[in-house]
Every structure is written in C-alpha cells, then in structure tokens.
Chain A
Amino acid sequence: MSYKEVSVLSPRVRRIARPLLAATTLVALVSGCAVGSGGDSGSDSGSGSSGTTTIRVLYPTGATNVALFDALAAGFAKAQPDVKLTFETQPAGTEGDNLTKTKLSTGEMADVFYYNSGSLFQALNPDSQLAPLTDQPWVGQLSDQMKPVVSTANGTYGAPLGSTFAGGILYNKKVYQRLGLKVPTSWAEFQANNKAIKADGKVAPIEQTFGDTWTSQLFVLGDFGNVAAQVPDWAASYTAGKAKYVDEPAIQAFKNQQQTFEDGYYNKDFASATYDQGVKAIATGTAAQYPMLTNAVAAVAQSYPDNLDDVGFFPMPAQDASKTQMTLWLPNSLYIPKTTEGAKLDAAKKFLAWVNSTEGCDVQLKASVVSGPFAISSCKLPSTVPAAVKDMQPYLDDKKVSPALEFLSPIKGPNLENITVEVGSGISSADKGAKAYDEDVKKQAQQLGLPGW
C-alpha cells in the first residue's frame, strides 16, 4: 500500500482500487474480530503454556455489578493466581432472559454466568443445561430457603452471590419524623399516613416510576407475604392451577394499587419517572414512600451516600395487621453451563467456592452494600448495616417472612409489569388487571408443560 505501488496504476484504476482496498481491509478486520471473540472457547481449551486457565464470566450490566465483579476478580486473583477471569455483560430483564436461553441452547454461554434463582432458573431447563454442583463443599451451608431455589429434584446447580433483599415500602425517615407518623402495620394505617402526607402538601405520598415498567410490580409482588400469611399453601395451589389472582386474597394487591392511584397519592411525573429518579426522590425526601426492593439501598449508597440512613423499610401492609408478613427475595446465583469442561470446569468450581468462602464474603461486603441477610451461613452481616436493612431484622426474628412467589412457584407471567402499569395509571381496573394476569400466567404454565393447565 506504499505510495510507489499505487502510483504505478493509472488514475482511473486508482480511483476504483482505493475504496475496494479499503472495503477488503474492513471485511478482513470484521471477520477477524468475529473469529477472535467467538472462537476462543475452542482454541485455548483450558490451560495455556504458562499453566493459567482463563474463564469467561457473564453478568448483567449495571453499575453495582461492575464494581462487585471487578472486586471479585481482584480478590480471586490473589487467592488463585493461576486462574484468570474475563468478563462479558448482557442486558438485564426479559432481554437478558432471552439471551441467556439462546446462549445456553446454542452452546455459546460463558464459563460462568450470574442469573436469577427461583422460577427463572427453573425455566433454563437446569438438568440438561447446567453442570451439577451437588458435591461442592459450600452446598451444605446454604440456608433452607436458598437451597431449593437453585436446585431441582436431581441436584444443586447454583452458588449465591450477594445478599437477600426484601420487597415492600421504602420510606423517608425524615419526612415521617417531621409529620410525626408511625410505621403502619395495616393497610388502613398506611392509607391514614398517605392522607396526612397529602394534606401536608410538601412531598408526594407515594413515588411511582412507570418510566421503568418493572418498578410498577411491587404492589403485587411485595404483597405475596401477606397472601402466604392468610393461605399458607397458596403458592402450591397456584402452581397446580387452582388459586387465581382474580380471587381473594391475591386480588387485594391489585385493588390496593388501584386505590392509591384513585386517591391521587402518586408523584406528579409517575408515568414517565425512572427508577433512578425514584431512588433520588426517596433518598432526598421529595417523596415519602416508594414501593421497592431493599436492594435499592445500594443505589442510594452510591449516589446519595449522606442520605443512606434516611431511608427506612416496612413490609407491604396487609388489610389485617396480624397478617402483615415481609416478602423476601433470594440472591441471584452463579451457574456453570454444561459446555464448560476440563480445566475450565475445575477453575469455575474453584471460583464459585471462593465467592462463598470467608475471603470471598469479605470482598462481597466491601464491594457492595448489603440489602439483607446472606443466604449462606459462611457469609455474615457486618455490625453496621444501612437503616433499611436494620428495619428488616424484627420480621426475620419473629419469623414473619415468606420467600417471594417466584421462589415458591415456577410460574411468573412475563406481562405483569405492563398490567400493573395499566392498573396503576387508571387505564384498567383491579379486576381486569388480575384477570389479564391470570391469562398471562396460564400461557407460562402451558409453556412449561405443568400438569393441571
């Protein structure tokens, strides 16, 4: 491509040749890249010449995940210098579900991946897709609630990473203090608080952020503890196709959401606000309450560290105070696909074991903000935790706690977030919303091939 070579050609040929050359180079570059990214799992099958093994780890995008995994990589490099971690990311949510299933079934999955436990894990067809970890030493240390959500009848497949978190109402303690409000234990008390906050007129009683549709589900998902308190085997009969959302007690959650909308308790921009704006509102006290998961404290700690202890938590109040129960989410887990073999499989297992060792737990604690107790006995909460996590403790001590529905049943309808947006913005009623969700759930149950549907 030197000047001399080109100048031999006539101007006309040169005019044609140049773009052609450029195009060829581009094609070569692109195809070279594709080979580079796709082919490495086959070409360096485990051990390199220096004896190090590289494993690819896939996690969903998000600022808190990046910090956590970078810290894990640094810590693990000290513990196991002969294993190197490289990272890949993919979007979270339904988009990620789709990608995860596709990658698993085409054999393109990274050597280790970080994904939901419970119903989404069950939908991966674990027995045929994932490497069993039943014989790993840490399996015995999993909590009684954690073990079933990463296991099938044939074995255990996932190692938890991170702490549990609760779903209910985050509230701003300064607003509550200023207005002299008490933490509500029943729905009536909650509504009385809302009324008082609205009468005061300075802040929004309830923050809603339908710009990120998933946030609209908390009224329903966070109410499950209360459903379970009234009908302890509700989840089982729901899986069997008998219990429905259109019936009491489950429909109450939809009714409650509709009522709070009709009473005008939401922030002015509820229809367009995003999760980040919701976190800001609850941390800085421009809204009094936000139905959300306690892992939002990580976002508060990152963006509004001075306000971390202004954010408190209480479970979604039931109609009857004696039935108010906290709904608890179990942490996401690390899994190894069946396609990881040989030295890479050994290295991946070492990584999972290390994450749940005392050393690994220390790294987790330093790199992330705990949102609840851990689900494995080798990891212990530190002495100082955010206020919202402290508020969870009484419910754990009194055993007024139930895992969220997605950990007790394999069925979760994919359209709940759109349905709760409709109920929460007056497009649809509680009855219609519950009915639509039952239809949605039916499709999921049929797709999973469950008996009774």
Chain B
Amino acid sequence: MVSTLTPSQVETASPARPRPKRRSHYPLYFYALPALLFVVLFAVPTFASFYFSLTRWTLFSTTFIGLDNFRQFFSEPNLFSGLTHTFIYAVLTSGTKVVLGILLGVLLTSRIVGRGYLRSVIFFPVLVSTIGVGLTFKILLDPFHGVVNTSLAALGVQGPGWLTDPHLALYSIIGVDVWKGVGIATLIFIAGMVAIPQEYYEAARTDGSSGWQMFVHITLPLLRPATTTVILLSLIGGLRSFDLIWAMTKGGPGFTSDVIASVIYKQYQAGFYGLSTAGNVVLFLLVTAIILPLQLLFNRQGLAK
C-alpha cells in the first residue's frame, strides 16, 4: 500500500510543477483499493451479521430460525439486564465526565501553581492500558485486603464490597471509568476554553459581571462544540464499553454488572454464535438510535446560533 501511494504523493507535493485543475484530486483507480478494503472488511461483514443474527450457526453450518435469537435476547432476564446496565453505564459515565471535565478545565486554565504538571497528572490515566487499570483497581478495591478498604478501616469506617456487592459493582466500575477517561474530556474542554477570546471576559468584567455570570453566559455557551464532542465520544465509549468491566468483574457478581458487550462476549464464548450476533445487531441499532438523533440535534443547534 505504501509503495502505491508514494509516487502520486511526491507528484502532488512537488512544488516545481504547476498544478493542473481537476474535478477530483485523485484519479479513479486511486479509490479502488480503499473501496475494496471497505467492502471486504466493513460492508460485507455488516450485512452478513444481519443475516447471521437470524440463524443458529456453528462454525460449520447454519439453520435459519427467523427472529428467535432476538426473542431470546429480550425475554431472558439475564440478557436483558445487560441492556439496562449499558444504558446506566453510558449515561452516568458521560454525564460525570462532562461535569468533572468542565470543572477541571476551569481549574486548569486558571493561573495556579504547577498548572502544566497538574494537567499531565489528570491526563496520565488515559495513557494507561484499560486492562491494567481494571486489574489494578480490582486489587485496590478488594473488600478485605485492598488498599481502599484497609485505609477506610484505619479511619474506623467499614468499607463496602466495592466489586462484590451486587448493588454497588456497576457503580464502582463507573467510578473507575470516569477516573480513567476524565483526562480526555478535560483536555477537550481546556482546548475549547483557551480558544474563547479574552476580550469577552474583559468586556464582561467592565460591565461588572461576577465570575459565575461569566461562566454561565460566556464560557458555557462558547464551549458548546467541545461539550458536544465530549458527550458523543463518551456516550459511544460507554455504550460499547467492555474491557474495563471484563477486567474488574467479568459482569459479576452473577449478572449484576453485565453490559451488552460482555453479554455478547459470553454468548460467543459459549458457542451461541447466532445469539451473540443478534446481540451485536442490537448493540449496533442502540448506538445508532442514540447517537444519530443527538448528533443531528447538536448540529442543528450549532447552526441556529
């Protein structure tokens, strides 16, 4: 692939030759390879998965069973709960990241000591492998030997079973996800805040605005593009989250922290290929159904301004 690209890149990049006017920047054959890759690697599997979700298949044969897989998926409580958990997970992680990200962004664009250092500290967890973070926190949150609960015990507080209490497990993972992902949100917000012209604040200050008024009427509205990006990115990330959950609880205890992705993985592992493909289709439709209207809404509001 590299060798086919190089000559024409050189050609377009060479400043000596006057560039002829073309309707398309590249000749038609230039699109053939990417188009082929797209069809083979993305289009065909996507449509094949729609078909296979209607079958019960092994690696050797398929039986067409209509919508049975979907019926199974929505009727079995242990599968369906995965859908609810996914929703809770996506909304909570996304919302928390926006709020925390803005607050941290405000803090880290103000004149404080060690700003550069603090910025990198906030961003550091983003760089660490998710599996590594998951396993580390699993050890830290161990109800009896973990650092968190032994520290609490030293203060005289009996810490809960963060990952073993069925009512708490999902929320503990959400907390870790926010800790790990808030750096990216903060970074985007910092970029957004730095881009806001200082004149607005100066004008507002002359008019006697308080800090809170400036935050609500200048910073927040002008951060809209950043906010949109953070919400979309973290919602999509939250809806398809898997690695952190798998590393920390494997969906347990029981099925109490199962999300769609981990349900799909378990069904696949068990050899229920049709059912897991149906789960993937459900996930695909869910992500589309949530993200598409959001994207349209944000875009329209952006244009209206």
Contacts and interface: CB of A to CB of B under 8 A. Distances in A.
Interface of A: 94-95, 97-98, 101-102, 105, 123, 125, 128, 210, 213, 268-269, 271-272, 414-415, 418-419, 421-422, 425, 427-428, 436, 439, 443-444, 446-447, 449
B272 A427 contact: no
Nearest to B273: A447
A272 B163 contact: yes
A123 B275 CA distance: 17
A413 B43 CA distance: 34
A428 B161 contact: no
Given A97-B271, A271-B164, A447-B271, 9 more contacts: A94-B266, A94-B269, A102-B59, A269-B144, A272-B144, A421-B253, A427-B253, A427-B254, A436-B77
B117 interface: no
B10 to A, nearest CB: 15
B78 interface: yes
Contacts of A125: 58, 60
A123 B271 contact: yes
Contacts of A268: 144
- Mostly helix, strand, loop or mixed at chain B's interface? loop
Interface string B238-264: 000000000000111111100000000
A271 B271 contact: no
- Mostly helix, strand, loop or mixed at chain A's interface? helix
Contacts of A421: 252-254
B143 A443 contact: no
B161 A418 contact: no
Contacts of B56: 446-447
A411 to B, nearest CB: 12
Given A123-B271, A422-B253, A422-B254, A415 B164 contact: no
B166 interface: yes
Nearest to A413: B270
Q: Pick the most buried of B60, B144, B252: most chain A CB atoms within 10 A of its CB.
A: B252
25 contacts: A94-B269, A98-B271, A125-B60, A210-B252, A213-B250, A271-B143, A271-B164, A271-B165, A272-B143, A272-B161, A414-B269, A414-B271, A415-B270, A418-B252, A418-B255, A422-B255, A425-B166, A425-B253, A427-B253, A428-B254, A436-B77, A436-B78, A443-B275, A444-B272, A447-B271
Contacts of A414: 266, 269-271
A102 B273 CA distance: 12
A102 B271 CA distance: 10
B76 interface: yes
Nearest to A414: B270
A427 B256 contact: yes
B300 to A, nearest CB: 44
Interface residues of B, number: 32
B171 interface: no
Contacts of B274: 447
A425 B249 CA distance: 15
Contact of B266 (A101, A105, A123, A415): A415
The 6 closest A-B pairs by CB, nearest first: A422-B254, A271-B164, A414-B270, A105-B59, A94-B269, A427-B166
A272 B145 CA distance: 10
A258 to B, nearest CB: 13
Contacts of A422: 253-255
Contact of A425 (B78, B143, B163, B254): B254
Given A272-B143, A272-B164, A447-B58, A210 B270 contact: no
Nearest to B251: A418
Contact of B60 (A97, A105, A425): A105
A101 B144 CA distance: 38
A197 B270 CA distance: 39
A97 B270 CA distance: 8
Nearest to A129: B60
Nearest to A210: B253
Contacts of A101: 59, 271
A97 B269 contact: yes
Interface in B118-170: 142-144, 161, 163-166
Q: Pick the most buried of B58, B77, B161, B271: most chain A CB atoms within 10 A of its CB.
A: B271
A419 B270 contact: no
A127 B254 CA distance: 36
Q: Pick the most buried of A98, A415, A436, A443: most chain B CB atoms within 10 A of its CB.
A: A443
B275 to A, nearest CB: 7
A272 B142 contact: yes
B274 to A, nearest CB: 8
B268 interface: yes
A268 B72 CA distance: 37
B256 to A, nearest CB: 7
A421 B251 CA distance: 12
A444 B272 CA distance: 8
Contacts of A97: 269, 271
Contacts of B251: 418
Nearest to B255: A418
Nearest to B254: A422
A105 B269 CA distance: 15
A446 B68 CA distance: 11
A277 B253 CA distance: 18
Q: Pick the most buried of A268, A272, A425, A439: most chain B CB atoms within 10 A of its CB.
A: A272
Contacts of A95: 269
Contacts of A449: 63
A443 B267 CA distance: 10
Nearest to A422: B254
B107 to A, nearest CB: 36
A324 to B, nearest CB: 29
B131 to A, nearest CB: 14
Contacts of A128: 60
Contacts of B269: 94-95, 97-98, 414
Given A272-B142, A436-B78, A419 B272 contact: no
Contacts of A436: 76-78
B1 to A, nearest CB: 13
Contacts of A439: 76
